Structure 1
Amino acid sequence: MKKKLIAVGVAAMRAEPSGKSELVSQAILNTSVVILDHSTSGWCMVQTPDQYQGWIEDRDMTDWDESSDPQKRMEESQIVQALWTFVRSAPNLSSPARVEVVRGSRLIVNEQIKDWVSVSLPSRPLDKIGGYIPKKAFRDMIRPSLADKIVADARDCLGISYLWGGSTPKGFDCSGLTQAVFLWNRIPLPRDASQQAKIGKFVRPDPDYGNLLPGDLIFFGPTDEKINHVALSIGSRDYIHAGACVEFGRLSSDKQPRLIKRIVPDFI
């Protein structure tokens, strides 16, 4: 079983080995992927840690080894908290950017230099420094509960454009948004809305939806077996979802959910 690491900020996963093919998902910097197949045109069929499969250009990846995988060096790595930022060639904002990184990326940290941190990059296995990232990019926000953190992360994404197959701050589809905000808080979810609807604890809503809690997942679709949209509850009738963009929504007689699931461990 051959593995590789994503070596760019956000790698496109496509349905077929072509840049014109449908975007099915995205993989972020330092994600380890299993190589399932190769094409003659420079693409690899991969499987991400959430078991999702798609084609990624080989040039967006580098060979995997345990020493370069942050997941294997947890004590030496940190998760980027900024929605997006850049790893630069020197510890100042005027230096060239080496790679863009988005929230959720895990980087191996080497040392702190004033307001900057030196990090290793998978695309430069022989470079012990790799680049520099602002220290504040790793600073976790202090919030009172896990549910509040998940909702706050979703609020941070308000206004980000809708992107079919998107699962990063470069663009989200509905299930990509919910998967991302939970993963940023160390709760892995399946990739698609129909898959997410199969996990968690069933919640029977009150007539006024007053029993919905922040962090609950609200599913929509023609039947329980045909879920085609998911939103994140922020409490009662209100939710955040990826519609035309990441935006607020509200349950009503014209907008009724098909299913509600409780995922946050604190509430189960």
Structure 2
Amino acid sequence: MEQFAVIIKPVITIWDRPEETKENREKKIVSSIADEGIYGMGLRIRGEEEQGFYPVVTAYHYPGYVRKEDVELTGLSALVNWEEGGLMVIDGEFVDLMSLPKVQGVRIMSAPRGALIKVLEFESMEPGWALVELFDGQRGFVRNQYLRPKEYSQSGLWTGKLPQKEIVDEKEFRQAVVENAMQYLGTQYRWGGRTPLGIDCSGLTSESYLLSGIIIFRDAKIQPGFPVLEIPKEEMLPGDLMYFPGHIAMYMGNGRYIHSTGKIGSSGVVINSLNTEAADYREDLAKSWYASGSIF
């Protein structure tokens, strides 16, 4: 019988093995962080508990391990009910869930952009406040200006397929994913991160696409089975992706791109240019840029 789980903390680490550290190629000890999970997201359990970790796979088909205290185990029917029960996406950097529909309420939880929460009433007894419910049934209130529709499906957890939203207007979609990425501008670089607390290069691109209903590969490469296909560099349009060794960026148009970089002195989510005369030109990236990709 398949088992599933829902993330019950605002942000959790997803590890690439059931331990916090590993030895890298240079024989140095580094973290085994692979990704992050955000409140309300579902997971499929893919094996037995190991040393306090569950082996899991995410709805965007990324495997890893999570600490058992970070999730609540559940069955398929409960997960489907959660998925189809009116979920919306938190759309503020970090948003408070309050006990009352007013700022003087008790803070129940704070959740980052990308968290999933069940909305019972978008406009509750107090204008501007939504009545919401957590996975454990606890209710509270969130300012509805910080909620956006959930455009992607987590059904791949139980179907094994990658569900993708039908794109009706290509230009509108491209603009939306660029705007999603721009919301993280200035966020610090965090290895494996995917929230406004810290985000890495593929976390930025994959989360920007996910928020608009399209599931692309979580890492910085073009992966078979996912919708991004290589295109000629000169055919790039806004929202397309740029690939470098171990790095990925999103093209914005007019020779500019947005990415999350760990470069000393220019770390975090920044915008750079392909124009050699521009002050924000990155020669190292321009020379190592080996491919472009698009879902179109």
User: Which interval holds the TM-score relative to the shorter structure?
Assistant: 0.7 to 0.9
Q: Which of 196, 201, 221 pairs up with 1:174?
A: 201
Q: Which of 115, 125, 136 pairs up with 1:105?
A: 115
Unaligned runs of 5+ in 2: 22-30, 150-170, 262-266, 277-282
The residue aligned with 2:43 is 33
| CA distance in 1 between partners of 2:98 and 2:81 (Å) | 19
Task: Tell whether the 8 Å contact from 1:30 to 1:70 is kept in structure 2 after alignment.
Answer: no
| CA distance in 2 between partners of 1:249 and 1:70 (Å) | 43
Unaligned runs of 5+ in 1: 222-227
| CA distance in 1 between partners of 2:82 and 2:251 (Å) | 30
User: C-alpha offsets along residues 152-176 of structure 1, whole Å, 9 cap, x if unaligned?
Assistant: 1111111100011112222111111
| CA distance in 2 between partners of 1:202 and 1:31 (Å) | 30
Q: Give the counterpart letter for 1:138 in structure 2.
A: L
User: Residue 67 and residue 34 in structure 1: after superposition, are their counterparts in 2 closer, same or farther (change >3 A)?
Assistant: closer
Alpha-carbon offset, residue 196 of structure 1: 4.9
| CA distance in 1 between partners of 2:292 and 2:82 (Å) | 32
Q: Which of 212, 233, 237 pairs up with 2:236?
A: 212
The residue aligned with 2:18 is 17
Alpha-carbon offset, residue 61 of structure 1: 0.9
| CA distance in 2 between partners of 1:54 and 1:87 (Å) | 29
Alpha-carbon offset, residue 38 of structure 1: 0.7
Task: Classify the secondary structure of the residue corresponding to 1:146.
Answer: helix
Task: Classify the secondary structure of the residue corresponding to 2:91.
Answer: coil
Q: Which of 153, 162, 181 pairs up with 1:154?
A: 181
User: C-alpha offsets along residues 230-266 of structure 1, whole Å, 9 cap, x if unaligned?
Assistant: 1000013210000120001122563142001112xxx
Q: Which of 59, 69, 81 pairs up with 1:59?
A: 69
Alpha-carbon offset, residue 139 of structure 1: 4.9
TM-score by length of 1: 0.83
| CA distance in 2 between partners of 1:139 and 1:177 (Å) | 18
TM-score by length of 2: 0.75
In terms of mean alpha carbon deviation, does 241-250 or 187-196 score higher?
187-196
Q: Which of 140, 164, 170 pairs up with 1:131?
A: 140
Alpha-carbon offset, residue 192 of structure 1: 0.6
User: Residue 68 and residue 2 in structure 1: after superposition, are their counterparts in 2 closer, same or farther (change >3 A)?
Assistant: closer
User: Residue 213 and residue 70 in structure 1: after superposition, are their counterparts in 2 closer, same or farther (change >3 A)?
Assistant: farther
The residue aligned with 1:203 is 231
| CA distance in 2 between partners of 1:28 and 1:97 (Å) | 18
- Of all paired residues, the percent bearing the same amino acid is 25
User: C-alpha offsets along residues 80-136 of structure 1, whole Å, 9 cap, x if unaligned?
Assistant: 2223212122222233322222222232111223221121111x24x4xx2211111
Task: Tell whether the 8 Å contact from 2:216 to 2:228 is kept in structure 1 after alignment.
Answer: no
Aligned CA RMSD, in angstroms, stands at 2.4
Task: Tell whether the 8 Å contact from 1:78 to 1:138 is kept in structure 2 after alignment.
Answer: yes
Task: Tell whether the 8 Å contact from 1:5 to 1:69 is kept in structure 2 after alignment.
Answer: no
| CA distance in 1 between partners of 2:72 and 2:102 (Å) | 27
| CA distance in 2 between partners of 1:39 and 1:151 (Å) | 39
Q: How many residues align?
A: 246
The residue aligned with 2:104 is 94
